[in-house]
Amino acid sequence: MRNILITGGAGFIGSHVVRLFVNNYSEYNIVNLDALTYAGNLENLKDIEALSNYTFIKGDICDYNFIKEVFAKYSIDAVIHLAAESHVDRSIKNPFAFAQTNIMGTLNLLEAAKNSWNNDFENKLFYHISTDEVYGSLGDKGLFTENTPYDPHSPYSASKASSDHFVRAFYDTYGLPIVISNCSNNYGSYQFPEKLIPLFINNICNNKPLPVYGKGENIRDWLFVNDHARAIDVIFHKGKLGETYNIGGFNEWKNIDLIKVLIKTVDKILGREEGASEKLISYVKDRAGHDYRYAIDSTKLKEELGWEPSLQFEEGIEKTVKWYLDNNAWVDNVTSGDYQKYYKEMYE
């Protein structure tokens, strides 16, 4: 048996990673550690929570003594670290929380792993999940490669960049076996409706304004979350120690074009006239420090480890829209309470 600690497993991407590992690897004990912040939700894992190779622990990665105890109690052999504050807009309002969780939380985990493994690094791994946003913003041409210098602009990306540097520093300084991946924007089921795609699907359904930042001309590179989880599986098992792998599906969309695809898909499924919801588009003040374009080159991952995305974007978007429409109870649950307050502060 291998004991694998997955942090942030009750969040959007983490829940897909936990599900994949619990279902596919009965020889692993999966320990999901999550603080259950506004973004974490155990409903995301209802289908696997009773399986014998799965354990959930509620706890904060910022609490070093607690993390140390988890390593000892569960004899952790490997970590897949996803826990983070993850929303750029929130980082603009409250950068402290991002430094605390993303930098100090990561440092706590690194230090606990190093001390618990005590220089016996055989079959050990610390896998850190990061973002392409650490590379900064592109102009109209070019792609982020693993060698692109870090140039983060938002408090979120600055905190993720800092955590990546700590992870590499532990490899260089202590020989801690690490691997890092930097992925582009994800979409799919169980994403908290503060990020563009689930927020807009929900607003289109409810005939609410669609707050497009600036002119809607910023570009993002979108990957289906299940494909990200598959990439994490491949890198966890075959990635070379000390290396970084970019993850992305060569799938760039200008925000406004993507929003029109969402409108078309939701209107079609709800039986509305084609384009009826375009009237909901509402251009609002741009995000401060808004990165213009992200686009990732994932050639290394394809050529060295054989990973490729499994889905075309149109198919992924249709699946995603259907999931949100079929899971009203999930959406209602996560958008009650504090979400209303957040929404008012952000958009009204």
Binding site for ligand TYD (CB under 6 A): 88, 185, 195-196, 199, 211-213, 218, 220, 255, 287
* Interface positions, 150-179, toward ligand NAD (CB under 6 A): 160
The reply on whether position 71 binds ligand NAD by CB under 6 A is no
> Binding of ligand NAD at residue 35 (CB under 6 A)?
yes
Contact between 60 and ligand NAD by CB under 6 A: the answer reads yes
Select the binding partner of residue 213 from ligand NAD, ligand TYD, none (C-beta < 5 to 8 A, by kind). Answer: ligand TYD
Neighbour-count burial of 50, counting CB atoms closer than 10 A to its CB (0-12 exposed, 13-18 middle, 19+ buried) = exposed
338-343: long-range contacts (C-beta < 8 A, 24 or more apart)?
338/38, 339/38, 339/193, 339/194, 342/38, 342/194
CA dist 262 and 269 (Å) reads 11
Q: Which stretch binds ligand NAD (CB under 6 A): 183-191, 207-215, 235-243, 323-331?
A: 183-191
Between β-strands 28-34 and 125-131, what pairing exists: parallel, antiparallel or unpaired?
A: unpaired
Q: How far apart are CB 274 and ligand NAD at their closest, in Å?
A: 29
Which of 114/160 has CB closer to ligand NAD? 160
The entry of ligand NAD, ligand TYD, none that residue 129 binds, CB within 5 to 8 Å by partner kind:
ligand NAD
Give the separation between CA 128 and CA 140, rounded to whole angstroms. Answer: 29
Pick the closer one to ligand TYD by CB: 34 or 291. Answer: 291
**Whole-number minimum distance, CB 44 to ligand NAD, in Å?**
8
By a kind-dependent CB cut-off of 5 to 8 A, residue 35 interacts, out of ligand NAD, ligand TYD, none, with ligand NAD
- How far is Cα 97 from Cα 91, in angstroms, rounded to an integer? 8
86 lines the binding site for ligand NAD (CB under 6 A) = yes
Would you call 273 a catalytic residue per the annotation? Answer: no
Residue found by looking up tokens 């003594």 in the block: 65
Return d(Cα 330, Cα 323) in angstroms, integer.
10
**Judging by DSSP bridges, how do beta strands 185-187 and 54-58 pair with one another?**
unpaired
241 in helix, strand or coil?
coil
316 binds ligand NAD (CB under 6 A): no
Binding residues among 100-119 for ligand NAD as defined by CB under 6 A: 101, 105
Beta bridge partners of 315: none
Active site (annotated) includes residue 156 = yes
Cα separation of 278 and 312, whole Å? 24
Residue 249 interacting partner from ligand NAD, ligand TYD, none (CB closer than 5 to 8 Å by kind)? none
63 is catalytic: no
Q: How far is the CB of 8 from ligand NAD (least distance, A)?
A: 3
* CA 227 to centroid of chain Cα atoms: 12
Q: Which residues are catalytic?
A: 132-133, 156
